[in-house]
Amino acid sequence: MAAIRASITGVGGYVPDGILTNKDLESMVDTNDEWIVTRTGIRERHILEKGKGSSFMALKAIERLMEMRPTDPAEIDAIICCTTTPDHVFPATANLIGAAIGAVNAFGFDLQAACSGFLYGLTVGSQMIETGRYKKILLVGVDKMSSIINYEDRATCIIFGDGAGAVFLEPDNSGNGFIDAYLRSDGKGAEFLHMKAGGSLYPASAETVANKEHYVYQEGATVFKFAVTKMAEAVEIIMQKNNLTSDDIAFLVPHQANKRIIDATAERAGLPPEKVMLNIEHYGNTTNATLPLCLWDYRHQLKKGDNLIFAAFGGGFTWGAVYLKWGIEV
Ligand code: UT7
């Protein structure tokens, strides 16, 4: 019998109804639709209304996940919520989700790795399943990026959007499931992409608010250079480690930060556009939600045994790639 691996046994995705188009942004900052589309590939992003937090979107995604994979919440062993925009600094958003769905036998925690969060969460959750100790893990990727974006800063407000995705990880001994991960982080990148205030070093004060330090700060061109190099390198490494050629891969599931980064990664891996999941045009960069939202949008095209390569790059810096064999037919 093959070793226990962790398969994704269901997926749910959600983006809020509110849409912010490039045209809308033209009236807010000095930008234009053509620049945004050619430099990023983004045409619109979804924005959650004020008064609702990340857990609201997570619960909507979980509702859809439960429709695909009906589950008694009492069977869930653990909830991992990957997010950079939790409802509160504490308690963990995972706990709020657990209480809302009645996951009375689960423990939960949030995982913070910026745009690579879901990739890290997929690795952590899968390895928990591989131990044999846990049978059902609810893995969520969610961000309300609009809550930390300065809509007067054209360098950041054009990129980000809000959204959520959720999957179940369960044991699989058919040979499918999570196979390998290559993950890295480097805190030297912190200066180029961060939110300065709101943590223990710079708690909220009248001064931090006046200085607009509760917003995302990004030196776009520097981050771009790292992202384009590191994401492509991670994909190349995971393919080499697992003796995979581009012909073996059904889909690249890339973080949706910039279409030019995705194109460069696919090109270096020798993957044609039809093997690359892409939804950045309609969602922008939803940070922790990009990967599960890709799975949600492409779920009907996935077949049991498909080789998927997930890849991401984000603040921290954090980056990496995961190799997983899809384990279900939807
Ligand atoms: O997901 C987490 C990781 N994040 C990323 O992977 C994002 C990586 N970075 C990027 O995607 C890109 O750097 C951006 C989309 C953020 C910016 O694109 P860029 O091609 O790197 O532009 P740039 O910052 O080098 O700026 C080029 C020019 C500048 O004008 P000058 O100095 O050449 O006259 C900017 O002032 O474009 C200008 N510019 C804009 N023009 C119109 C910058 N933002 C805008 C804008 N609209 N929104």
CATH number 3.40.47.10 is the correct assignment for the domain at 179-325 = yes
Indicate the fold that domain 5-176 takes in CATH: Peroxisomal Thiolase; Chain A, domain 1 (3.40.47)
Ligand 1 centre and the CA of 232: distance in Å?
20
Determine the pLDDT at residue 2: 74
Cis status, amide bond into 91, omega within 30 of 0: yes
- Residue numbers of the chain with a pLDDT score lower than 70: 1
pLDDT digits (tens, 9 = 90+) for 2-26: 789 999 999 999 999 999 999 999 9
Longest Cα–Cα distance of the chain, Å, equals 61
pLDDT digits (tens, 9 = 90+) for 295-318: 999 999 999 999 999 999 999 999
Where along the chain do its domains lie?
5-176, 179-325
Determine the pLDDT at residue 1: 61
Give CA–CA dist 176/166, Å, rounded.
19
Give CA–CA dist 207/203, Å, rounded.
10
Catalytic residue among 82, 115, 157, 294: 115
Ligand 1 centre and the CA of 221: distance in Å?
6
- Is 115 an annotated catalytic residue? yes
Give CA–CA dist 204/198, Å, rounded.
5
Give CA–CA dist 290/83, Å, rounded.
11
Write out residues with Cβ below 6 Å of ligand 1: 31, 35, 39-40, 115, 154-155, 158-159, 220-221, 223-224, 227, 257-258, 261, 285, 313-315
Do 5-176 and 179-325 fold alike per CATH?
yes
The counts of H helices and E strands in the chain are: 11, 13
Ligand 1 centre and the CA of 220: distance in Å?
5
